[in-house]
C-alpha cells in the first residue's frame, strides 16, 4: 500500500507542479507566454507521462474525483479511498509549496490567484456559480467516462494514458475561461492555500462539483455502457 500511496502522491505532485506551474511561471509573459492552449496541454502531458510512469503501481488516479468515480464503478476499493485522497492532497500541497518558493524569487511578485479556481468575480470570464458548477460536473463526468472506457477489459493495451491525457487537455481547453479548470479537488486545494484572492471560501465548489460529476460519469458508464 505504501508504494501505491507514494505513486499517487508523486503523480499528483507532478500534475500540480507541471500544470499549475505552467500557468504561474510561464502563462503570463506577453512575448512568449503559453496562454490557455499551452496550459491545457501542460495538464494533459502531466497525466499522460505520470500514468505511464507510475500508473501500473497505483492505477494513476492523481485526483480524488477519479478515485471516487472508480470506486462507484467498482474498479477501486472503497477502503482505499481516504488513503488515496490524503496521498493526493499531500502531493499537491508539496508541489504548490515549491511553486510558491520559486515564483516568489522575483522582486515584487505577489501570489494573486496563484492558478486557483473560482466562480463569479474569481472566474476568469466572470461566470456564475451555477454555470461553474455545471461546467465542472459535466467535464468531470466526461473525464471519468473516458478513463473507465479506455481502461476496460478489451480496450487496446498501452494506449490508455494517451487518451486520458488528451481528454484532460480538452477539459482544460473548454473550462479555463469558466473556472480556471479544476475537475480535481487536490489540485484546487493545493493552490488555494497560497492564493491571496479569496480562493478558500469558494473551494467547496471544487470538491462538490467534481465529486458529483465523477459519480454521474461512473453511473452512466456502469448502467448504460459497461459490457458485462
Structural domain including 129 reads 2-225
The pLDDT confidence band at residue 9, using thresholds 50, 70 and 90, is very high
- Domain total of the chain: 1
Closest CA to 140 of 76, 70, 74: 70
Question: How much of the chain is in helix, strand and coil states, percent to nearest 5?
Answer: 70, 0, 30
Mean pLDDT of 25-46: 82
The Cβ of residue 92 has, within 10 Å, a number of other Cβ atoms equal to 29
DSSP state of 202: G
Mean pLDDT of 76-103: 97
Q: Is the pLDDT of residue 30 over 90?
A: no
- Render pLDDT for 141-200 as a digit per residue (tens, 0 to 9): 999 999 999 998 877 778 999 999 999 999 999 999 999 999 999 999 999 999 998 899
Contact 135, 218 (CB under 8 A): no
Mean pLDDT of 116-124: 96
Mean pLDDT of 194-209: 96
Model pLDDT, residue 155:
76
Mean pLDDT of 119-139: 97
DSSP line for 75-98: SS-GGGHHHHHHHHHHHHHHHHHH
Q: Is the pLDDT of residue 31 over 70?
A: no
Contact 152, 227 (CB under 8 A): yes
Residues in the chain: 228
Q: Can you tell me the distance from the alpha carbon of 18 to that of 220, in angstroms, rounded to the nearest whole number?
A: 31
Q: Is the pLDDT of residue 33 over 80?
A: no
Q: Is the pLDDT of residue 70 over 80?
A: yes
State the CATH number of the domain containing residue 212: 1.20.1080.10
Amino acid at each position: 500500500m505504501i508504494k501505491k500511496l507514494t505513486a499517487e502522491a508523486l503523480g499528483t505532485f507532478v500534475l500540480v507542479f507541471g500544470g499549475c506551474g505552467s500557468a504561474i511561471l510561464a502563462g503570463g509573459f506577453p512575448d512568449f507566454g503559453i496562454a490557455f492552449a499551452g496550459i491545457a496541454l501542460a495538464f494533459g502531458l502531466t497525466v499522460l507521462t505520470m500514468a505511464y510512469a507510475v500508473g501500473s503501481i497505483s492505477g494513476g488516479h492523481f485526483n480524488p474525483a477519479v478515485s471516487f468515480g472508480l470506486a462507484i464503478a467498482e474498479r477501486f476499493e472503497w477502503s482505499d479511498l481516504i488513503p488515496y485522497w490524503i496521498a493526493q492532497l499531500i502531493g499537491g500541497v508539496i508541489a504548490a509549496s515549491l511553486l510558491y518558493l520559486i515564483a516568489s524569487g522575483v522582486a515584487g511578485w505577489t501570489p494573486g490567484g496563484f492558478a486557483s479556481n473560482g466562480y463569479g468575480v474569481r472566474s476568469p470570464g466572470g461566470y456564475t456559480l451555477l454555470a461553474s458548477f455545471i461546467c465542472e460536473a459535466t467535464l468531470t463526468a466526461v473525464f471519468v467516462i473516458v478513463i473507465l472506457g479506455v481502461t476496460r477489459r478489451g480496450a487496446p493495451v498501452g494506449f490508455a494514458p494517451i487518451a486520458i491525457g488528451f481528454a484532460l487537455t480538452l477539459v482544460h481547453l473548454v473550462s479555463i475561461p469558466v473556472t480556471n479548470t479544476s475537475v480535481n479537488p487536490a489540485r484546487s486545494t493545493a493552490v488555494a492555500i497560497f492564493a491571496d484572492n479569496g480562493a478558500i471560501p469558494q473551494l467547496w465548489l471544487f470538491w462538490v462539483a467534481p465529486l458529483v460529476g465523477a459519480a454521474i460519469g461512473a453511473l452512466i458508464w456502469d448502467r448504460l455502457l459497461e459490457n458485462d
